[in-house]
Amino acid sequence: MAIFTPDIPQAKNQRNADRVLMIQNFNAVSDFMQKNHGNFNTGSQGFHKWVTLLNHDNSIGTMPNVSTGITNALISGIQHLAIWNKDSLGVAFNYSLTRAFPGSTGSTQLTNSFKLKWGTVTLSASEVNVRVTFPTTNQLEFLTECLIVLPIVLNSTNSDTNTWVTLISVDRLGFDIWQSERTTLSVSSGITIIYIALGF
Amino acid sequence: MPYNKNNPQATDSWIESQRSLQNNFQAIFDSFTFDHEPFGDNNEGMHKKVVFPGLSGAPTESLTDSLVLFNMVSALTGINELNMLRPDTAAVQPLTEIDQNNPKGWMKLPSEIIIKWGVGLNKTASSTITFPVGAGIPVFGVIYAVYVAPKGVGYLNKAIKVISYSTTTIDIYVSRMFQQTDATADAYYLAIGK
């Protein structure tokens, strides 16, 4: 790997000394340029072959307004592919493209900064209007808003067609749901539901 | 004249040295400004865009915790997709795979989560929706959540509940909510797994 010497030529240098350093610099430039790129003097000169993102500390560094950057960021102890955006006012925000907490209760990041959450929960039988709070431990959270929740009854008893749920309201921390039976506003036993939620 | 990293030579005349130096500076200028903000710009050196040529295989990278982005044909979709080598395992992780077929399709998120959607036709009472299988369709190794809803007009008062689900199927029950009798409906489904 050639060393690059930026401060040449110098007036005090012998011509041959500068010449050797110039060759060294041109070798260094060639090595530098060809790292992950097409070689000089080829049709792919300047093109990337691939892009290697080194371990990064997830700080934004210098970044102009209205620009987007990608990094290999350390988030909660794990390296992730992350997006940095900076708006016209210079406000920066970031999120990981590859972060997820898979499981029966889980969440994942979407590429447009939205998040998808899901879970299975058994509602209390003591009331028809039930609050479900999204788990937060080891989960991605909706920081601003939950846009939609899709709940459905999970019931292993085929013949029980008498219970259902209705969504009342949603917010970023959870949702309120109405559970009922055909003949009464109460439920004899808690209903288990699966939910899928979308937000950001 | 091409870039020559071994110029100038000791035997070169001053004019020859000037010419070779100018060639090299021109080549450096062309390469450094390709898809980048140019020299002298406030943002010089920053990318304007990154173009990934199609590779025949995944590159190798030995640097610890490094993440490599590259372009390679997907075995699932058969087209060029953006991929990464995961920094934790160095495994190939596709980032853009999707089958947008309507009404059945799937997508793989960069987080490795798979979302499948589709419709099961004419499901009556206790029925099973089977996820499509075959070439170009990912298989759930584990499934986390599902949602099913009745499809179409004329299905007023019909509801679907989930009996159980697996990596290959969703067992559902179609009924009328108030009459508490069996019913028939097409069933839209959404499934999340990995």
Q: Where are the alpha helices (DSSP H) in A3-61?
A: 15-34
Q: Which residue of B has its CA nearest to A69?
A: B47
**According to the model, what pLDDT value does residue A3 have?**
87
Write out the two tokens for B84: 């990464």
Residues B115 and A73: their CA atoms lie apart, in Å, by 25
Find, among B95, B118, B93, the residue nearest to B169 by Cα. B118
Cα-Cα-Cα-Cα dihedral of B162, B163, B169, B175, to 10°? -60
Cβ atoms A177, A130 nearer than 8 A: yes
pLDDT surpasses 90 at A143: yes
Residue B155 pLDDT: 54
Q: Give whichever of A142-151, A177-186, B63-72 has the largest mean pLDDT.
A: A142-151
**Mind telling me how many Å the CA of A50 is from chain B's nearest CA?**
5
Q: What is the DSSP string of A46-107?
A: T-BS-EEE-EE-S---S--SSEEEEEEEEETTEEEEEEEEE-TT--EEEEESS-EE-SSSEE
pLDDT > 60? residue A99: yes
Element (H, E) at A181: strand A174-181
Averaged pLDDT for residues A75-96: 87
- Which residues from chain A sit within 8 angstroms of residue B7, using beta carbons? 22-23, 26
Per-residue model confidence (pLDDT) at position B49: 92
| Among B48, B21, B22, residue whose Cα is nearest residue B33 | B48
Residue of A nearest to B89 (CA): A79
**Residue A180, pLDDT score:** 75
Rounded distance between C-alpha atoms, residue A100 and residue A168, angstroms: 28
Locate tokens 């596709």: which residue? B94
Confidence label for A157 from pLDDT (cuts 50, 70 and 90): low
Domain B103-193 class, CATH top level: mainly beta
Where do the H-state alpha helices sit in chain B?
14-33
Q: Does residue A164 belong to the interface with chain B, where contact is any CB pair within 8 Å?
A: yes
Helix (H, G, I), strand (E, B) or coil at B114: strand
pLDDT value, residue B105: 93
Question: Do the chains contact at B173 and A150, CB–CB below 8 Å?
Answer: no
Looking at the complex, report in whole angstroms how far the Cα of residue A32 sits from the nearest Cα belonging to chain B.
11
Q: Which residue has the tokens 């004249």?
A: B1
Residues A195/A150, Cβ–Cβ less than 8 Å: yes
Q: Does B164 touch chain A (CB under 8 A)?
A: yes
Q: Residue A24 in 3-state DSSP?
A: helix
CA dihedral for B138, B142, B146, B152, sign (positive or negative): positive
Output the six-digit token pair for A41: 């003097």
Instruction: Give pLDDT, residue A98.
Output: 92
Give chain A's mean pLDDT: 88
Domain(s) of CATH 2.60.40.3940: residues in chain B: 103-193
Per-residue pLDDT of chain B (194 residues; tens, 9 = 90+): 789 999 999 999 989 989 999 999 999 999 988 899 989 988 888 899 999 999 999 998 878 889 999 999 999 999 999 999 998 888 999 999 999 877 789 999 999 999 999 999 988 888 999 999 999 999 999 999 999 998 866 656 788 889 999 999 999 998 887 677 888 889 999 999 99
Question: What is the pTM for the complete model shown?
Answer: 0.89
Q: A15 CB near a chain B CB, below 8 Å?
A: no
The model's pLDDT over A162-175, given as tens digits with 9 standing for 90+, comes to 677 889 999 999 99
- Asked if B63 and A52 come within 8 Å (Cβ–Cβ), the reply is yes
Which chain B residue's Cα is nearest to A15? B10
- The better pLDDT of the pair B151, A187 is held by B151
CB contact under 8 A, B109 and A47: no
> Which residue of B3, B111, B190 is in closest CB contact with A108?
B111
Nearest CA of chain B to the CA of A34: how many Å? Answer: 10
Least confident of A108-117, A119-128, B8-17: A119-128
Nearest to B126 among A48, A153, A158 (CB): A158
Return the pLDDT at A129: 86
Q: What percent of chain A has pLDDT over 70?
A: 91
Inter-chain CB pairs, A–B, below 8 Å = 203
Q: With a cut of 60, say whether residue A159 has pLDDT above it.
A: no
